[in-house]
Amino acid sequence: MGEPAAIASLTPAPVSTATSTPQTSATPKTTPKASVKPKVITTKEVVEFRVIPFKKKTVTDDSLPKGERTVRTAGVNGTRRLVYRVTYVNGVQTAKRMVRQEVAKEPRSQVTAVGTKVEEPEESGGCDPNYSGCVPIASDVDCSGGSGNGPEYVDGPIDVVGTDKYRLDADHDGIACE
């Protein structure tokens, strides 16, 4: 036999690993600058509404009794529409300027009537309504044939249906001048 045949080696050949050491450059080291945010400017129109209070007006009315008050027209507030242009820088409001304003709803004045009519006592044909029959309305009335001094006199008997303002019912039984 001859020489043994060469046996292929099953072990891998050694691999060389190269290590490198970092090299420093001659440039100076710089610190990072503070980052500057770009300014974001936005504008927008904003609408606001304001109340316009109604005015009050008083008128006289000679058909109403003196001192009586009646609201003829109810007052209604109006509305004013205000439009502003608002500027924001990075989300923070920096300016607000009025662009226009207009009356959205006119106010309506309240009208109150105050009576001036002086009411005079109603006379029922010149007869006092506190008595049945006709007892005249006067400064004083007395029963005819009595001791009174007038100036007016009435014949009885008369029923007292209200207040005995002339004191004609002396015994308070509801019948005067009996």
Q: What is the mean pLDDT of the chain?
A: 81
Residue 87: closest CA among 55, 39, 50, 129: 39
Region of residue 112 (phi > 0: left; psi between -120 and 50: alpha; otherwise: beta) = beta
SS3 19: coil
Query: Is-contact 53 83, C-beta < 8 A?
Result: no
Q: What is the pLDDT of residues 13-69, one digit of tens each?
A: 444 444 444 444 455 555 556 567 789 999 999 999 999 999 999 999 999 898 899
Domain extent listing, the chain = 41-117, 121-178
Q: CATH number of the domain at 41-117, please? A: 2.20.230.10
Using CA of residue 96, residue 102, residue 105, residue 110, what is the dihedral sign?
positive
Say which range, 40-49, 105-114, 149-158, has the weakest mean pLDDT. Answer: 149-158
pLDDT at 125: 61
**Residue 86 amino acid letter:** V
